[in-house]
Chain A
Amino acid sequence: MEILVCVKWVPDTAENEIEVNRDGSDIERDDLVYSVNEWDNYAVEEAIQICDKVGGNVTVVTVGDEETEEVLRREMAMGADNGLLLHDDAFDGSDGRGIATVLKAAVQKGQYDLILTGAQADDGAAQVGGMLAAMLDYPYASLVNKIEVDGDTLKVGREIEGGNQEMNAIAMPCVLSIQTGINEPRYVGIRGIRKVASVEIPQQGVDTLGIDAAMVGAIGARVKRLDYFVPDLGEGAEMLEGSNEEIIAKLIELLKAKGGLK
């Protein structure tokens, strides 16, 4: 099976305090720690496990630049066979539809049976997989937490409200967005990353992909981010101050009053 996994290099919210820069035009990017989008690691792990079972190749693709190319190396260190960087200045400022347009062109240059994305990334939009499927006229399932291969069909579980699982049969080729928890992504050590550090990663841009530049980038975007801000949501929590001892004494009184301690 030929599997394409779409991945993204994102500021790591577990490692950074994300702050708005001075004029609100962006987040503060100095000293940001980046990592593979959490959901994408599960998608790549799943792709590798499927190919281990039924044979095939895993290609990882990202729309980015020389810096974000690192995400491809991380995933190749995990075990993906090939990387593909879609890079062009014309892609800058793309909205979700723009990114999906670029990916669609890349899919059509290849021969993929299965396309995976993470369920969502740093902007929490959860949109690229579903858009890509619609553009390709492929069936789609989101929030997938189980995949079983059955010939040309996949049996997939979708995570729905309450932790219940919606089982579907879906025909290939198809696009699936992968939810966390579907597997346990393997750990990649420094050695694995070194091994792929100098692998040549092919690049494609507007011309090689045959994309109309007016459909992507800031020009093609119908959705634009105007600024970043931190909303003023009123008072928020009453912060308990003092030494730990004092805080705990106050907290115990509060818990008694609220029925948290008898």
Chain B
Amino acid sequence: MADIYVYITHKNGVADDSALELLAAAHKIDASAAVTAIVTGSGADLDKVADALAASYPKVLKFNQVALAYPNAEVVRKLLVNILPANAVVLVPHDTFGMDLSPGLSIKLDSTFVADVVDIEALDGSDLKLIRQEYAGMVSTHISADIAKGAVINVRPGSFAPDESQSASGSVEDKSVDDSDLKVQRTFLEVVEAEMGDVDITKSDVLVSIGRGIEDEENIEIADDLAEALGAVVSCSRPIVDAKWLEKSRQVGTSGKTVKPKVYIACGISGSFQHMGGIKGSPFIVAINKNIKAPIFQVADVGIEADILDFLPEMTEAIKAM
């Protein structure tokens, strides 16, 4: 079995949750593998992350370089191509960084790429069996990947229970590469923070959240009415923002807001992982959807198979009549 490496993303001196999820995923490929963490960046924050990782990973490779201060995937890819051994298996979170880094990395390493893996079943010789989802999570597939020449595997955040065993008292190795080896044709300029918007959906205990099932901009009124009756706030899934029907600040999900309400009422939302990734703190989730097979029914507490265009106004009336 080839060596397994995990690329660690981090912010403000703290490793991302994926750091321990990827360790668990690595052990599902090979329970006895000595897994190496790779962490890049610069300054004191980087040291902090690397030291903390050594409690879980037997070996941490730390690359401290000004060119790596911001994780520009083009630069990180160059670095990894320079330092990884042949046939390495590399695990990366399937987030906006991993999506940027990994497909090209697999080509440059001449290894196999598997995106957005939700589970790992077994390794048999060089045949790795994994599970993915297709069609917006409506169906799953078993995948067979030939990893004889190594692999880059993007793992969906939240799909592996973190390995918190803290079993390693690992070593941190300071590594360096020539800055001249990290020259790329894409320069990071700045991060523009998302706009605040008219309401703060993260402050509300109850969210009436609408998705593509609302069908028309004019129908948003029925969600407004229900929210008003409940003393709730209206939030939404991404297609509603893409259509410019509501402001970006109302979007729940990985590329929107992270919310922690007590009650989340999902109306005409299918339940994609990017959407559900923005709902934390285990709220009571009510899903109203006209398709009984919608994936959201697998994660909601209570489900109602109904057309929201009829159901929401009826519910509003009933609450008003109380």
Find out whether the CB atom of B191 lies under 8 angstroms from the CB atom of A228. Answer: no
How far does the alpha carbon of A255 sit from the alpha carbon of B192 in the complex, in Å? 38
Interface residues of A, dominant DSSP: mixed
A199 at the interface (CB under 8 A from B): no
Chain A residues with CB below 8 A from B286, complex form: 251, 254-255
- Which of B194, B232, B306 counts the most chain A CB atoms within 10 A? B194
Which chain B residue lies CB-closest to A238?
A: B302
Please, what's the 1-or-0 string for A125-166, where 1 marks a CB less than 8 Å from any CB in chain B? 111111101110001111100000000000101111111111
Which chain A residue lies CB-closest to B294?
A: A17
A96 at the interface (CB under 8 A from B): yes
Chain B residues with CB below 8 A from A223, complex form: 112-114, 143-146
How far does the alpha carbon of A130 sit from the alpha carbon of B189 in the complex, in Å? 21
**Total cross-chain contacts (CB, 8 A):** 258
B48 at the interface (CB under 8 A from A): no
Please, what's the 1-or-0 string for A15-30, where 1 marks a CB less than 8 Å from any CB in chain B? 0011110000001000
Find out whether the CB atom of A128 lies under 8 angstroms from the CB atom of B103. Answer: yes
Chain A residues with CB below 8 A from B188, complex form: 166-168
Q: Return B256 CB to nearest CB of chain A, in Å.
A: 5
How far does the alpha carbon of A100 sit from the alpha carbon of B251 in the complex, in Å? 33
How far does the alpha carbon of A184 sit from the alpha carbon of B299 in the complex, in Å? 32
Q: Which of B115-169 contact A (CB under 8 A)?
A: 115-116, 129, 131-136, 138-146, 149
A–B Cβ pairs within 8 angstroms, 21 of them: A11-B135, A13-B138, A97-B107, A128-B103, A130-B99, A139-B185, A140-B186, A143-B100, A162-B194, A164-B191, A180-B239, A223-B112, A225-B141, A228-B141, A237-B285, A238-B301, A239-B303, A247-B304, A252-B318, A252-B322, A259-B263
Contacts A162-B256, A255-B230 known; 12 new A-B pairs at CB < 8 A: A19-B139, A130-B107, A160-B255, A168-B189, A180-B239, A184-B244, A223-B143, A223-B146, A224-B145, A237-B298, A239-B302, A239-B303
